[in-house]
Structure 1
């Protein structure tokens, strides 16, 4: 039987129902799943419910959730203020062809809170937000080329994912996201190294007249949650201003860094900003915001817009009220508490590794953290890429956390949520220390 085969690969019998569901999924989905980002080891864990900082799988195993749907659920699961407003709005209608007051309320909150936003448009995902921000920049500047940085994930739009891994073809062009993508996409994307303050202007000058925007994630997660240096932020800003290039800050993930987001934290002043995840309260959402004159490409009075942007479910009442409730609860005090917990977990994990002279380091900021299987934390995207041996180590770490009742993302950012406690954080630290103790026989020195 399929279940027996999976258990033979090391899948525990305590998750037999997940094995059964994956068997069913393989009859209806390519590779058994409908999202390629879902982790499998060797199959996925199917979840039945969530409450606060915890989830329960289909076999009723309780797990501390450090994934939170890829950093989306900043309030964890089943957040009562969101449940209350969604229950009320469900009875009045879930989506309309006409606008509602709910979209104005959430937009007013974003405009009042995020310095870069004068005007905003809602979409249904982060990918859509980046796509329309790129289109807006092109329409406003009448230019085509986009500059992006290695190691950052900006969704599935062709021009946003070209060169995503930092790899280039043998001709020096950015590698496209999939076979058959139009080769011309690579002609309009320039890929640069994050934090290379000295090299950015030199790389941009030859094509400055055709560059519409610099697309930047202030703290790229897939590159190891790198922090931008002040020199890099200053160089990017100066080059953009000098050559009339727009700055697009992708904060779909990193808005959770603080009350006003990541750009404000690092002194970046973007012309456009994309946000999502936490602004939807657990429901599908994305948004493009920015300067009023740039956002005018989406429409001015009754004139035909330069960029037509719609979406059947954009600004639907459910996402709007859920997002407003979630964001209202994210006060300055709530962010300060999350940052304190984040500092606690990063410090505790780092001290555990140092105590045992183990080849691990920790990066992150605010409520985000990543464990790296090497002594020094990444300084660029290439140093965030795991070797095969390091991937084996990280897989062992993830399995140890799972056996201890914790979902630790593999090769992605882990995150905290507001219902987490100091005790939860201590459990994470103790579990990591336990892993190091039980694996102290490993030749750490050889893996440095």
Structure 2
């Protein structure tokens, strides 16, 4: 898509990137940083908006990958942290602040009876897997094809599969995430296709004697934010229970789906939950929670615990206080308002697609949505995976939104925040409507339009 203002990164971003390339491999410190053609450097956040170092202002649909449920600069959390800073930022001893956030989460989330804090979602998933291994005495895990669970070797197997690597539909392959991964990692991961109930039963049963847990994201983001089929959820949980396999729900992202989380929303009763993102109030955090019976593997009161979980910054008071204040503000009414905005927006986007008879569909739930360049809603990662032309369409949408002052991730997955207004939702609807009205008729045309800018 072309136009007089494509909101490209400006001269200050270019200067900063030139400096960054001298000190960072590829000029960035996160693989998820987008560059089109270079990264955009941010000066500050303001509620639902971002301001970059060149003074350009954007409605933020990324929210640091769904973390900022209140948007940027949430005043109650900032004020609480400001009061705390003079007292110290981290200690080797515990503080009352960690108990406060823990009590909130235990009271709110049905599956969590006890909890431990870490610093990232990756750590939360890693320790959940370790806990499952220690509790069952088994080494292997099962996970959903294409689902993202952070950077632990076993959890990241097959999170980036492609048509050339993912294997047959009946026997998905656990592709290692990076060169040099021990071959044994792939041998210890069983891949399940999302929403394939029969396949899940068959593959779990075949590996039951070695499976410690099934790592289940109720609505995988990289899998397309596709709704879970109740029959699939039932097949996974019932089969796991029959063989003594633990169910671990990764809600690092999807805890934002309801007041009590995604597991409760979809009727899942997991043994463990990995949480993060919104529970930190904009600061680094992760958590592992579950039943007292399973969480006992972290109990070191009578000697060395079965799973020794430390972390220099785990349960630091800054994250604990910011998280507690932010989660206290996420009342049932606040979640209901986000859900209403999400429902309204997804309905409006679908209506625009219908009016223009365009080859797109919308997925998502609660405050999450994603645009797919497909004629029908995908059911799993393979169906959601974009062809070359479809990838061009996604890039065109992201660029068009950027030219209209909206940050939309390159895969068009997005999240809403409580800082957004009805006018912001109207703006998103209007921009998508105008994209459909002005986009080239074919996906090939969209791809060529994007290539003209590269």
1:27 aligns to what?
22
Is the 2:172–2:193 contact (alpha carbons within 8 Å) kept by the matching residues of 1? no
CA displacement 1:253-281 (0-9 Å, x = unmatched)? 00000000000000011000000000000
Q: Measure how far apart 1:41 and its partner are.
A: 0.7
Query: Cα distance 1:304–1:325, how it changes in 2: closer, same or farther (>3 A)?
Result: same
What is the match of residue 126 of structure 1?
121
* Normalised TM-score (structure 2): 0.93
The SS at the match of 2:54 is coil
Aligned partner (choices 70, 77, 85) of residue 80 of structure 2: 85
For the 8 Å contact 2:66–2:277, the answer to whether it is kept is yes
Secondary structure at the aligned position of 2:154 is classed as: helix
1:322-341 residue pairs with structure 2 within 5 A? 322-341=322-341
Q: What is the match of residue 450 of structure 2?
A: none
SS at match of 1:252: coil
- 8 Å CA contact retained: 2:389, 2:443: no
Distance 1:177 1:392 in 2: 24
SS in 2 for 1:161: coil
Residue 444 of structure 2 corresponds to residue 433 of structure 1: no
- Assess if the C-alpha contact under 8 Å between 1:221 and 1:412 holds in 2: no
**CA separation in 1, counterparts of 2:347 and 2:338?**
14
Task: Report if the CA contact (8 A) 1:174-1:191 is conserved.
Answer: yes
Distance 1:12 1:434 in 2: 17
SS, match of residue 310 in structure 1? coil
In the TM superposition, residue 172 of structure 1 has moved relative to its aligned partner by: 6.8
Q: TM-score w.r.t. structure 1 length?
A: 0.95
Aligned equivalents of 1:339, 1:123: Cα separation in 2: 29
Aligned mates of 1:131, 1:443 — CA distance in 2: 43
**2:149 aligned residue:** 154
Tell whether the 8 Å contact from 2:273 to 2:289 is kept in structure 1 after alignment.
Answer: yes
Q: Deviations over 1:145-167 (max 9, x none)?
A: 10001121000000001122344
Q: Which moved more, 1:295-304 or 1:78-87?
A: 295-304
Match of 2:395 in 1: 395
Per the alignment, residue 174 of structure 1 pairs with: 174
Residue 115 (structure 1) aligned with residue 110 (structure 2) = yes
Gaps of 5+ in 1: 1-9
Question: Which deviates more, 242-251 or 158-167?
Answer: 158-167
Measure how far apart 1:355 and its partner are. Answer: 0.3
Residues 417-428 of structure 1 mapped to structure 2, 5 A cutoff: 417-428=417-428
RMSD, aligned CA: 1.7
- The residue number in structure 1 matching 2:131 is 136
For residues 147 and 14 of structure 1, the distance between their equivalents in structure 2, rounded to whole angstroms, comes to: 41
State the shift of 1:443 in Å: 3.1
CA contact (8 A) 1:370 1:414 kept: yes
Which residue does the alignment assign to 2:44?
49
**In the TM superposition, what are the counterparts of 1:376-415 in structure 2 within 5 Å?**
376-411=376-411, 413-415=413-415
Which digits, 9 at most, give the CA deviation of each residue in 1:94-142, with x for residues without a partner? Answer: 0000000000000000000001101000000000000000000000000
The structure-2 alpha-carbon separation of the partners of 1:13 and 1:336, relative to structure 1 and needing over 3 Å to count, comes to closer
Distance 1:23 1:12, change over 3 A: farther
Superposed displacement of residue 189, structure 1: 0.5
SS of 1:366 mapped into structure 2: coil
Contact 2:205 2:239 in 1 (8 A): no
Query: Matched residues in 1 for 2:444 and 2:310: separation?
Result: 56
- Which SS does the other structure have where 1:178 is aligned? coil
Q: Counterpart of 1:186?
A: 186
2 CA distance for matches of 1:312 and 1:336? 37
Q: What is the CA distance between 1:302 and its match in structure 2? A: 2.6
Matches of 1:415 and 1:140, distance apart in 2: 35
Number of equivalenced pairs: 437
- In structure 1, the partner of 2:449 is none
With over 3 angstroms needed to count, the CA separation of the structure-2 counterparts of 1:403 and 1:446, relative to structure 1, is closer
Aligned to 1:289: 289
**Cα pair distance change 1:68/1:422, threshold 3 Å:** same
Q: How does 1:267-286 map to 2 (within 5 A)?
A: 267-286=267-286
Q: Which residue of 1 aligns with 2:12?
A: 17
Question: Are 1:317 and 2:312 matched, yes or no?
Answer: no
3-state SS in 2 of match to 1:158 = coil
- State the 1:412 CA deviation: 5.1
User: Residue in 2 aligned with 1:72?
Assistant: 67
Distance 1:172 1:59, change over 3 A: closer
Which of 94, 97, 106 in structure 2 is aligned with 1:99? 94
1:341-380 mapped onto 2 (5 Å cutoff): 341-380=341-380
Q: Structure 2: where are the runs of 5+ without partners?
A: 447-454
The answer to whether the 8 A contact 2:240-2:247 is kept is yes
Distance 1:241 1:172, change over 3 A: closer
